[in-house]
Chain A
């Protein structure tokens, strides 16, 4: 269970302060598939990064399985992120000099041989079995995003946070990415997916709409 209470986030800019989130309260049950929607600048990505322990809120708390992740020491929060969270980004953020297999292994845990086995199995499932030795620059956008999904899933996290994962993809590739996230969800994983369009709705059990840093609608 993810529990966000009174979360606010203010960015300090040269021209003044910008409130990205304003007193957000939300609970996300374990094993759910939640979509966070809203226009650009509504605070979706800020909320997602805060849920993943990547961005300390200016106020409020984020509890995952009863633990306030921002009360943890940084090293513990890093370990928590490594063990429990997988990220998927709109711009993939793959490491350009590593091949597909190498990128997957960056997110792996445990022994090298086990990780290698997991990575090959994932490549198979993602339809990238013949792309293991290719670098990201040699892949299509859809393939890159599937690698990013694989990298997020290989460590078997409890929570996958996807930030506009299909923003740069055509319909077919977007469907493939959502299918992989849905498969993970069916296996018991929790997915929180941010989108500014409505493409995620069909895959989600719940849609939360954000506007100007506040929850406008919670369709749970």
Chain B
């Protein structure tokens, strides 16, 4: 009679306690899978949303007159474009999505706008990500909402500007910011128009440290900048940076808290149920001992049962999770992707193992029971 056959017979016989254990594992695996999948989606979505809050770091020349900067909205002082390349070459920098700009007020058809040349987006080594903003093609312009309205131009129109004519490639939507009165151009075009070749007056970036305000991220960020560009000055758009850091930290910590709690609850449930099961089987264990069953075989009865329940529970739980995540988009608005192969494999292998680990104490209890106590009727 094989151990597996004995285990399966016992599970069938004690179907209520087996069912409860199976239910516990199934619910846990389903919950874990949904939380994991959904949590991953929520984290990704949070990253996207917080990224869309926009740049939260501004780097300008250390010589900038700050009164003028805040009054005008940008620095009059310029610095070499190579600064951005230097920053983009530094390994381990916690800034990302570096974008350089050259801004000046210009008058077009009797109205003042902010001419803004923007560079392509740069990333430090190993941190390449999809750009937050698509670059402006050379020879074209993108107009802010108000700028387009006042200049009465549409997409595809030709717009003369400071002695050159550009194609209007895009009319931007109303943003409610100074961007509405900007005229965006490729950096090299704007540098040419302003006769400031190779110059910038600002670098914007996103801080990837995501430290909470109480952890003083600004000091750390400034330390990093001073090492690379001691002549530059950095400040953080605190509200945007704090909102980003708080939201991302919250989601990450919730995820990191919930998953272990679910696993521990499952392990505890399995452990308690199998401990009760072992107590129920002391007489049987005593008889098996009398028949010459070794400690390993007795432990195998308990651990084997845990493995079988873990395997079945893992499989059923995965099916439940797959059904829930694919069929209930109203509950899971981020529409979790189908469970990944690694998650499926991890659960199919990990669940039986977790159940077995949770049942080490019941197995030890079974092995260390004195069979003579039971057989003499003392237990």
A52 touches B290 (CB 8 A): yes
Chain B residues numbered 340-379 whose CB sits less than 8 Å from any CB in chain A: 371-372, 375-377
Q: Does A212 contact B (CB under 8 A)?
A: no
| In contact, A89 and B375 (Cβ under 8 angstroms) | yes
Contact of B6 among A45, A83, A93, A98 (CB under 8 A): A98
Residues 187 to 245 of chain B near chain A (Cβ within 8 Å): none
Q: Find out whether the CB atom of B292 lies under 8 angstroms from the CB atom of A79.
A: yes
Indicate if A46 sits at the interface (CB-CB under 8 A): yes
When the two chains form their complex, are residues A94 and B292 in contact, meaning their CB atoms are under 8 A apart? no
Q: Is the CB of A105 within 8 A of B372?
A: no
Give bound CA distance, A85 to B371, whole Å. Answer: 15
Query: Is the C-beta of B104 less than 8 angstroms from some C-beta in chain A?
Result: no
Most interface-central of A74, A85, A91, A98 (chain B CB within 10 A): A98
16 more CB-based (< 8 A) A-B contacts, given A46-B376, A85-B292:
A45-B375, A45-B376, A49-B372, A54-B375, A78-B294, A82-B292, A83-B292, A87-B290, A91-B283, A95-B284, A97-B14, A98-B1, A102-B1, A106-B288, A106-B291, A151-B291
Knowing A49-B376, A55-B372, A105-B1, the reply to whether A96 touches B284 (Cβ < 8 A) is: yes
Q: B69 in the interface, Cβ–Cβ < 8 Å?
A: no
Instruction: Tell me which residues across on chain B come within 8 A of A74, comparing CB atoms.
Output: 295
Cβ B9 vs Cβ A54 within 8 A: no
Question: At the interface, yes or no: A81 with Cβ under 8 Å from chain B?
Answer: yes
Complex Cα distance, B375 from A46, in Å, reads: 10
Q: Are A54 and B289 in contact (CB under 8 A)?
A: yes
Contact A95 B287 (CB under 8 A): yes
- A-to-B contact residues, CB < 8 Å: 45-46, 49, 52, 54-55, 74-75, 78-83, 85, 87, 89, 91, 93-98, 102, 105-108, 151, 163
User: Chain B residues near A102 (CB, 8 Å)?
Assistant: 1, 6, 9
The verdict on B10 contacting chain A, using a C-beta distance below 8 Å, is: yes
Is B70 an interface residue when CB atoms closer than 8 A count as contact? no
Q: How far is the CB of A53 from chain B (nearest CB, A)?
A: 9
B292-A54 in contact (CB<8A): no
| Chain B 48-91 residues near chain A, CB threshold 8 A | none
Interface of B is mostly: helix
The reply to whether the CB of B13 lies closer than 8 angstroms to some CB of chain A is yes
A97 proximity list for chain B (CB < 8 A): 9-10, 12-14
Q: Known interface pairs A81-B290, A81-B292, A151-B291. Does A96 touch B13 (Cβ–Cβ under 8 Å)?
A: yes
A82: chain B residues at CB < 8 Å are 291-293
Q: Please, what's the 1-or-0 string for B269-291, where 1 marks a CB less than 8 Å from any CB in chain A?
A: 00000000000000110111111
7 A-B pairs with least C-beta separation: A82-B292, A97-B13, A93-B287, A55-B372, A87-B290, A81-B292, A105-B1
Binding site for A on B (CB under 8 A): 1, 6, 9-10, 12-14, 283-284, 286-295, 371-372, 375-377
| C-alpha spacing A91/B375, complex, angstroms | 9
Enumerate chain A residues within 8 angstroms of B294, measured Cβ to Cβ. 75, 78-79
CB-defined contacts of A80 to chain B, threshold 8 Å: 292
Known: A78-B292, A81-B292. A54 touches B284 (CB 8 A): no
Closest to A97 in B: B13
- Determine how close the nearest CB of chain B comes to the CB of A106; give it in whole angstroms: 6
Query: What chain B residues lie within 8 Å of A78 (beta carbons)?
Result: 289, 292-295
CA distance A2 to B10 in the complex (A): 37
B residues in contact with A52, CB < 8 Å = 290
Q: With a CB–CB cut-off of 8 A, which chain B residues contact A93?
A: 283-284, 286-287, 290, 375
Cα distance A93–B290 in the bound complex, in angstroms: 10
B1 touches A106 (CB 8 A): yes
B292 contacts which chain A residues (CB < 8 A)?
A: 78-83, 85
With CB as the reference atom, state the residue of chain B lying closest to A13: B378
**In the complex the two chains form, what is the Cα distance from A123 to B289 in whole Å?**
23
Chain B residues in 8 Å Cβ range of A79 = 292, 294
11 A-B pairs with C-beta separation under 8 A: A49-B376, A74-B295, A78-B293, A78-B295, A82-B293, A87-B290, A87-B291, A93-B287, A97-B12, A102-B1, A107-B291
Q: How far is the CA of A107 from the CA of B6 in the complex (A)?
A: 13
Closest to B289 in A: A54
Q: Looking at B288, B290, B295, which has the most chain A CB atoms within 10 Å of its CB?
A: B290
- On chain A, the residues within 8 Å of B293 by CB distance are 78, 82
Once the chains are docked, how many angstroms separate the CA of A102 from the CA of B3? 12
A97-B10, A97-B13, A97-B14 given; A49·B375 CB < 8 A? yes
